[in-house]
Structure 1
Amino acid sequence: MEPVWRQQGRGRGRSQEAQGARFRPGGGRGGRTEAPHSAAPLDKFEEIRKSNQAAAQRLVESHVSSSSSDDEDDDDRERQDGKRGQILASTFTTYTNQTGGDATGLVRTGQYLSDLFQSGALTCLICIASVKRTQQVWSCCSCFSLFHLPCIQKWAKDSVFLVSSVTDDDFGQKQHPWPCPKCRAEYPPSAKPNRYMCYCGKLQDPPADPWLVPHSCGSVCQKELKPTCGHTCLLLCHPGPCPPCPKMVSVACMCGKAKPLPRRCSNKAWSCQQQCGKLLPCRQHTCSQTCHTECRPCPRVSVQSCVCGRQKAERPCSSPQWNCQQVCGFPLPCGNHACEKVCHDGVCPPCPRSVSRTCPCGKTKSSLPCTEEVMPCGDTCDRRLSCLKHTCSMRCHRGSCETCRQEVEKECRCGKHRKLMPCHKEYLCDSKCPKTRSCQRHQCRRKKASVPCVSCWVNVR
């Protein structure tokens, strides 16, 4: 049996053949024919086809126009990159001519220059806004960060104001330094930025030149290189640190044995790899290290004499000088006395008695020989006593002055009583101490408050 979809239709589902016989000549009722209705669908199909073609054409044209604009953007970007490369090359030309085209020392400086040409790469850390090439800027000498000139001026003013308000008793009278917002390097008050200068500091208000580095004057930097070598920077006015010195100099090795060789000034220290052989400070051994700048202390041990030369002992060669703690005893130039200083080096000092001496109270001077004693002058001593209030009333004398015996009115420690008594004595009354002990519950109640109040020893039940 055939499937349903292949069977001949009935009623409304009659086959196409039966329907076709209806319109054939002589078929159907009375052999009538009907006109075909295919003109309207053909016109609608043609209309849809044309609209689709127009839409496709518009899509192609839009794609071509967008691709051409991308090509134009790429061309502009290539032109900008080429222009940037020319500016960087002109900035580095005087340096690379000295190095034979080697630009390894320009990596750090080149990064600062590249950031200047990239939109939004540099940001003012004060206002958090981009630094543009047409704006006035200030560059830190320590971290080389760029800030807007108005921003850094306000920062310096506010920093000094805050420090003065906290530390100064006389507010605003002292001059305080101000720090960099990024690296905190301190600048003196006289270094407050008040002008827009180029990086090298030669030109004020440098004009914006499209063929120069932004904020640059275009002339040679000529800043003194660090570490100081006597040469100056060869780059054109630039941001960031100056590169290492590229000049060639003829230098000997660190120990000085080998012949001088041409070297870069920034890397002129070199070793010949030979043994140093210099005599060490101990004067007994030589340096066994390879070519270097400064010799290390001698690591060996040897017999060393003391400073005065009387004793010997094994000592590290790195510290050859030592004292034996004995009195020198060497005869002085006067021939009558010996040196009384402890073990020392060099010549003994002159005899202390041979110089101008004074009487015991110090009022009269004399130039007697060192063998004779200076006699008291007979005047009143007048030296300050131990109480630091009165002077000695005795005649000029040797030795210490007596205790002060002048009567003065003194007050006891507790401050309740006053009494006339010798100055060298302390007045202690017989009143009991009313102060509270450390327990904060009982009184001291001790007489003669010369002893501090004791802690509580009463057993509290």
Structure 2
Amino acid sequence: KKANQAAAKKLVEDQLSSSSEDDDEDAEAKQGKILDKTFTIYTSQTDGDASELERTRQYMNEAFQSGAMTCLICIASVKRNQAVWSCCGCFCIFHLVCIQKWAKDSLFLVSSPLTDDDFGKKDYPWPCPKCRFEYKRSETPSRYYCYCGKVENPAVDPWLVPHSCGQICEREFKPSCGHKCLLLCHPGPCPPCPKMVTTTCHCKKAKAVPRRCSAKEWSCRLPCGRTLLCGQHVCENPCHAGDCQPCPRVSKQRCICGRQTAERLCASPQWQCDQVCGKCLPCGNHTCEQVCHAGPCGDCPRSGKRSCPCGKTKFTLPCTEDVPTCGDSCDKVLECGIHKCSQRCHRGPCEICRQEVEKQCRCGKHTKRMPCHKPYLCETKCTKIRDCQKHQCRRKVVVIHVRRL
């Protein structure tokens, strides 16, 4: 009896293990068929080459594996029958309810130090929990869509990728090339564009050849030959994209005014000499006093309205006549920085300040009334201790302080 029971138990275990293996094999075969169906249109364009689909295949494999797709907000598995949302930056999948709460809490933290009036004036963004890609408040998801965004609340289909509608993706490739994705509705990024286009090389010298749209930029490796900015030499680098590099050669270049010539790098042909322009101005009476410059010299600085020496009155006179004085007081601040010039409007520098002020020496022991422009040096010797902390300074004070009357 014991022998029969042991044999029966072993038979049951063998049957269970074989059936689980069969289920695993069936699940893998089913997953393989779904992936092949999703990639069919793409691989037909690439003659069966699926090397560019590895990144997308990884996202799809995670969608089939139990527990592989985890919502980073609630740290729970994402199931087939749950509403989800996918970030367009990192393609990470979250529960729809979780991402809605995340966006609401993020906006609350941003708006908490603001008043109600300020909050309505700007569309504050909220970030993706994983890649921190920012979305506008108006982009907060409110409905459950498939990956390609065509079908709302897609039905659960065991023969489709979870949360997929089963239709062709048709999202624009990034960077945009004018073509659309050929895979069925899928998670993760769209693969490179597989379309064949006829395109020439960067320098346009080679004959146009058919290439994949995702790799249509190519180099013929021949010398570029485009004329550089210096206008004297051509680019010798192999066929390349973008602008040519600055010219590395040295040539004779004229200065801006054209009077002098010097050997300089072709990449920096603009340079100034140290000579005054000297060209005749439009007035016909004066010459340009600017140092070597580009463009026109401009109008004569003595033409138009000019101010008198003190700047209070303006006159309109020919450039050959000097502006007269206005007769008003000068009122310019003198060198002392305290008083103003009391003379009438005059040419040339103002005189020294002669107003009497009470000055105090640095040691503060003596005061004296004297002209503002003269320093007050007392005869008292300084009694402060030197840095050696042993001897006194014993020098006469030479720094003064001015106290306004």
TM bracket, shorter-chain basis? 0.7 to 0.9
What TM-score do you get using the length of structure 2 for normalisation?
Answer: 0.75
What TM-score do you get using the length of structure 1 for normalisation?
Answer: 0.67
Given candidates 310, 323, 334, the residue that maps to 2:272 is 323
Q: Which residue of 2 aligns with 1:340?
A: 289
1:231 maps onto 2:183 in alignment: no
Deviates more, 1:383-392 or 1:62-71: 383-392
Aligned to 1:351, what secondary structure does the other structure show?
coil
CA deviation string 1:358-389 (max 9, x = no partner): 44455554443322333344455566778999
The 8 Å contact of residues 71 and 95 in structure 2, kept in 1 or not, is answered as: yes
Please tell me the residue identity of whatever aligns with 2:45.
Q
Q: 1:195 to 1:368 in 2, by over 3 A?
A: farther
Q: 1:308 to 1:130 in 2, by over 3 A?
A: same
1:248 maps onto 2:189 in alignment: no
Matches within 5 A, 1:227-306: 227-293=175-241, 294-306=243-255
Deviates more, 1:60-69 or 1:333-342: 60-69
Q: 1:252 to 1:451 in 2, by over 3 A?
A: farther
Aligned CA-pair RMSD: 4.8
Deviates more, 1:382-391 or 1:296-305: 382-391
Q: Shift in Å at residue 117 of structure 1?
A: 0.6
Please tell me the residue identity of whatever aligns with 2:23.
D
Matches within 5 A, 1:135-214: 135-156=82-103, 177-188=125-136, 191-214=139-162
Given candidates 16, 29, 34, the residue that maps to 1:87 is 34
* Paired-residue identity, %: 63
Q: Which residue of 2 aligns with 1:127?
A: 74
Query: Can you give the 5+ residue segments of structure 1 that lack an aligned partner in the other structure?
Result: 1-50, 453-461
Deviates more, 1:111-120 or 1:363-372: 363-372
Q: 1:272 to 1:406 in 2, by over 3 A?
A: same
Given candidates 319, 338, 344, the residue that maps to 1:370 is 319
Q: Which residue of 2 aligns with 1:98?
A: 45
Q: 1:391 to 1:297 in 2, by over 3 A?
A: same
Query: Can you give the 5+ residue segments of structure 2 that lack an aligned partner in the other structure?
Result: none
The 8 Å contact of residues 325 and 342 in structure 1, kept in 2 or not, is answered as: yes
Q: Shift in Å at residue 66 of structure 1?
A: 3.5
Given candidates 241, 256, 267, the residue that maps to 1:307 is 256
Aligned to 1:302, what secondary structure does the other structure show?
strand
Deviates more, 1:311-320 or 1:85-94: 85-94
Cα distance in 1, alignment partners of residues 376 and 111 from structure 2 = 51
Q: Shift in Å at residue 116 of structure 1?
A: 0.6
Aligned to 1:138, what secondary structure does the other structure show?
strand
Cα distance in 2, alignment partners of residues 402 and 216 from structure 1 = 91
1:66 maps onto 2:16 in alignment: no
CA deviation string 1:18-62 (max 9, x = no partner): xxxxxxxxxxxxxxxxxxxxxxxxxxxxxxxxx46xx24x44444
The 8 Å contact of residues 164 and 172 in structure 1, kept in 2 or not, is answered as: no
Aligned length: 397
Q: 1:380 to 1:92 in 2, by over 3 A?
A: farther
The 8 Å contact of residues 387 and 423 in structure 1, kept in 2 or not, is answered as: yes
Please tell me the residue identity of whatever aligns with 1:274.
L
Cα distance in 2, alignment partners of residues 411 and 239 from structure 1 = 85
The 8 Å contact of residues 153 and 194 in structure 1, kept in 2 or not, is answered as: yes
Cα distance in 1, alignment partners of residues 85 and 273 from structure 2 = 63
Aligned to 2:206, what secondary structure does the other structure show?
coil
Q: 1:185 to 1:428 in 2, by over 3 A?
A: farther
Cα distance in 1, alignment partners of residues 41 and 387 from structure 2 = 83
The 8 Å contact of residues 161 and 172 in structure 1, kept in 2 or not, is answered as: no
